[in-house]
Amino acid sequence: MLGRVYGKDLLEAEYKSSFDLIVPVPLHHSRRKIRGYNQSEEFGKGLSQMLEIPCDDTYMKREAMTETQTHKSKLSRWENVSNIFKVIAPGSVAEKRILLVDDVVTTGATLEACGQALLNAGCRELSIACIAATQ
């Protein structure tokens, strides 16, 4: 639902042709199994419906199960997620304009680590969207 609402805002701001692909921040497979869904992917699907841009959670994976970021400092958050994201097929994101989506941004460590993996794989442009940000 929130993805469609924000997608409508992006449409009205003429961002429809700004992205080639929407990539949600991946959950570790064990956490996804417990939860039953990836909230970032659900947000991305709503954006995808409104913008008519593919949202695909198969381009990236989280290689390690990490502790919750909830009570960590900024440095601890970065250390917790550095080098845990992998682009499955780098050629699939090369030269693409990617919208990376996450649910909540606190320090930006997760988005930075995930985005760095996409940039290292050759994506041409990287933008981010999130549902909420903490202060």
In which residue are the tokens 């009570």 written? Answer: 71
Query: Cα 108–111–116 angle (5° rounding)?
Result: 120
Evaluate whether residue 36 is within a structural domain: yes
Per-residue confidence of the chain (135 residues) as pLDDT tens digits? 789 999 999 999 999 899 999 999 998 888 888 989 999 999 999 999 999 999 999 999 988 666 555 555 565 555 666 678 999 989 999 999 999 999 988 888 889 999 999 999 999 999 999 999 887
Q: Exposed, middle or buried by CB within 10 Å (0-12, 13-18, 19+), for 68?
A: exposed
CATH of the domain at 29: 3.40.50.2020
Domain count, the chain: 1
* φ, ψ (nearest 5 deg) of residue 51: -90, -10
- Report if residue 24 sits inside a domain: yes
Are 22 and 53 a contacting pair, CB within 8 Å?
A: yes
The answer to whether residue 23 is domain-embedded is yes
Both tokens of 66, joined, read 């990490």
> What H or E segment, with its residue span, contains residue 120?
helix 109-120
Residue 70 lies in a domain: no
Contact of 47 with 122, CB cutoff 8 Å: no
The span from the CA of 35 to the CA of 50, in Å, is 26
The whole domain housing 32 covers 2-65+75-133
